Amino acid sequence: MTNEADGERSVPRWTRSHAKRIERSDASVAPVVYPPDEEMDPDLHVWDTWFLRERDGTIAEIDGYRVVFSLTAPADLLPGTRHDVATIRYFYSRDGRNWQCGGPVFADDAPFGSRQWAGSALYDDGTVYVYYTAAGTRGEDELSYTQRIAVGAGGTVETGSDELTIAGPFDHEILLEPDGTIYERESQACGMIYTFRDPWFFEDPATGETCLLFEANTPIPDPEEDDRFEGDPSHLEFNGSVGVAVSPSGDPTEWELDEPLLEGVGTNQELERPHVVVDDGRYYLFFSSHDHTFAPGLEGVDALYGFVADSLRGEYVPVNESGLVVTNPASAPFQTYSWVVYPHREELLVSSFFNYYDLRGLSLDDVAELPPAEQQRRFGGTLAPTVRLDVSGTDTRVRDVLEHGHLPLPREELPPLLSADRGSDDDGDGDERVLSSRKGEY
Ligand code: FRU
């Protein structure tokens, strides 16, 4: 976006007036999710997940296998504590339905962070690069929330008739830390948990530019003069942004910080796991966010949000006017989270994980007060049904869902739609269609 007066790009915004338009509708609500017959791995909690992809974003296929990486923790831990011990494991599959766990990707060691948070993975010339968030500090006695963007580079892939192995050694390096000027440092943060995480490799098909997107916060040097807060100091701690770094040489381990692609100052604190899908020359910038990270006065929901522009640094406008793309039904508002979108022929597929369900009106804070067995019972901890999404310009519409954890490649046919027409829905929360095709209700 260019400010015509001085030729400088001003960062596009997710404004409070966009967010005030957030409302569940038939176009955005995914069906109620029920526990799957089989989990991805019953010994693990599995949440944020991403494909091993090539430089141009194509999903890597290695001797017939596709690979995903997930944040994982032992399944006997209370689900709420999983972020404190998160470890990246890889899974592989020939059919995109049945997944085999290959173990922790950094089996030798990961020298940075006390745990690993989300990232992305690149397969380039036979080498695996796993980008991740080094959360906390290695060896710390008390858990800290420092976040640095790191890479483990140099992995190799071997395949056998029924297995795939990712082997090290990985060369670990801290790639990016916030600079305090365009990206807030932890010491500048003034409220909710700050963010500098979730690196996402992206090569721009139009320009060839090599980029790393990430979730961040924008520093607010002069709150008194800043009209993005609409004069209300309670909005001040909500300053989420989508950051970007570039690699001028294309080297996947050399990055320079650049201005954010989008910011949600005064609107929302966490624009999580940002990523871009280019469709028909349009750049769709997606991220996940929570209901509790919207600034006071806004009624958001846990959802996948999206913006669209005609170039990577274009004038992003919110999809569906508010930015809301896919959300959970009102009756199961926390059933899925951490969405990732990828193209499949004429449509988009949206993967996420099965989060808390059967809450019957409880908030996530209430869940933490439940007896441990009840917290476990109500947590999915495996991949959710993949959502099929229609996209047309600035509009999107949920079409249908595939099975839990079914991640088809673009060359693979999708099963027939459950219902060609989703029909009308009384209250817009998406339940009606689902309940007609499923038994039981949460
Ligand atoms: C989203 C998220 C990510 C982070 C991870 C930590 O689900 O908050 O931003 O990397 O969870 O578990």
The CA distance from 234 to 347, in Å, is: 40
Q: What is the pLDDT of residue 384?
A: 98
The CA distance from 368 to 357, in Å, is: 14
Of 51-55, 256-260, 368-372, 420-424, the one with minimum mean pLDDT is 420-424
Per residue in 148-170, pLDDT (tens digit) is 999 999 999 999 999 999 999 99
- Whole-number Å distance, alpha carbon 356 to ligand 1 midpoint, is 15
Residues of the domain holding 174 = 4-435
Residue 88 lies in a domain: yes
Q: Tell whether the model's pLDDT for residue 430 goes beyond 80.
A: no
Site to substitute for ligand 1 among 117, 143, 193, 241, most atoms within 8 A of C-beta: 117
Residue 90 lies in a domain: yes
Which candidate, 263, 225, 60, 249, places its Cα nearest to that of 159?
60
Q: Tell whether the model's pLDDT for residue 354 goes beyond 60.
A: yes
Locate 406 and state its tokens: 């079914």
Residue 442 lies in a domain: no
Per residue in 288-330, pLDDT (tens digit) is 999 999 999 999 999 999 999 999 999 999 999 999 999 999 9
Give me the percent of the chain exceeding a pLDDT of 90: 85
Query: Which carries the bigger pLDDT value, residue 424 or residue 40?
Result: 40
Task: Exactly one of 41, 48, 198, 302 is catalytic; name it.
Answer: 48
Asked if the peptide bond before residue 223 counts as cis, ω within 30 degrees of 0, the response is: no
- Whole-number Å distance, alpha carbon 117 to ligand 1 midpoint, is 6
Q: Where are the beta strands (DSSP E) in 248-370?
A: 256-265, 272-279, 282-289, 303-309, 317-318, 324-327, 336-344, 347-356
Pocket residues: Cβ below 6 A from ligand 1? 47-48, 71, 83, 86, 117-118, 133, 197-198, 215, 272-273, 337-338
Which atom of ligand 1 has the smallest separation from the CA of 215? 9
- Whole-number Å distance, alpha carbon 118 to ligand 1 midpoint, is 6
Q: Tell whether the model's pLDDT for residue 222 goes beyond 80.
A: yes
Site to substitute for ligand 1 among 72, 77, 198, most atoms within 8 A of C-beta: 198
Number of domains in the chain: 1
Q: What is the pLDDT of residue 427?
A: 46
Q: Check if 347 is active-site.
A: no
Tally of CB atoms within 10 A around 416 = 8
Give the pTM: 0.94
Q: What is the CATH number of the domain that holds 128?
A: 2.115.10.20
Per residue in 37-86, pLDDT (tens digit) is 999 999 999 999 999 999 999 999 999 999 999 999 999 999 999 999 99
- Whole-number Å distance, alpha carbon 69 to ligand 1 midpoint, is 13
Residue 130 lies in a domain: yes
| Nearest-CA residue for atom 1 of ligand 1 | 338
DSSP annotation of 228 reads: G
Residue 22 lies in a domain: yes
Residue 8 lies in a domain: yes
Site to substitute for ligand 1 among 197, 269, 275, 353, most atoms within 8 A of C-beta: 197
Which atom of ligand 1 has the smallest separation from the CA of 338? 7
Q: What are phi and psi of 229, to 5 degrees?
A: -90, -5
Give the pairing type, strands 210-217 and 239-247.
Answer: antiparallel
Give me the percent of the chain exceeding a pLDDT of 70: 93
Residue 440 lies in a domain: no
| Nearest-CA residue for atom 9 of ligand 1 | 272
Q: What is the dihedral of CA 412, 418, 421, 423, to 10 degrees?
A: -150
Question: By the 8 A CB rule, do 423 and 435 touch?
Answer: no
Which are the contacts of 346, defined by CB distance < 8 A and separation ≥ 6? none
Helix (H) or strand (E) run with residue 372 in it: helix 372-377
Question: One-letter amino acid identity for 405?
Answer: G
Which atom of ligand 1 has the smallest separation from the CA of 82? 12
Which candidate, 234, 240, 190, places its Cα nearest to that of 215?
240
Locate 177 and state its tokens: 């830390």
- Whole-number Å distance, alpha carbon 5 to ligand 1 midpoint, is 39
Residue 147 lies in a domain: yes
Q: Check if 48 is active-site.
A: yes
Which whole-number Å values give the CA distances from 184 to 192, 266, 270, 296, in the listed order? 13, 15, 13, 21
- Whole-number Å distance, alpha carbon 47 to ligand 1 midpoint, is 8
Tally of CB atoms within 10 A around 395 = 12
DSSP annotation of 22 reads: -
The CA distance from 198 to 178, in Å, is: 13
Per residue in 203-212, pLDDT (tens digit) is 999 999 999 9
Q: What is the pLDDT of residue 432?
A: 40
The CA distance from 259 to 253, in Å, is: 19
Token match 């003034």: residue? Answer: 190
Per residue in 223-282, pLDDT (tens digit) is 888 888 878 878 888 999 999 999 999 999 999 999 999 999 999 999 999 999 999 899
| List of long-range contacts for 77-83, beta carbons under 8 Å, 24+ apart | 77/45, 78/372, 78/375, 78/376, 79/45, 79/356, 79/375, 79/376, 79/379, 79/381, 80/367, 80/368, 80/375, 82/45, 82/47, 82/381, 83/115, 83/117, 83/135
Which are the contacts of 103, defined by CB distance < 8 A and separation ≥ 6? 89, 90
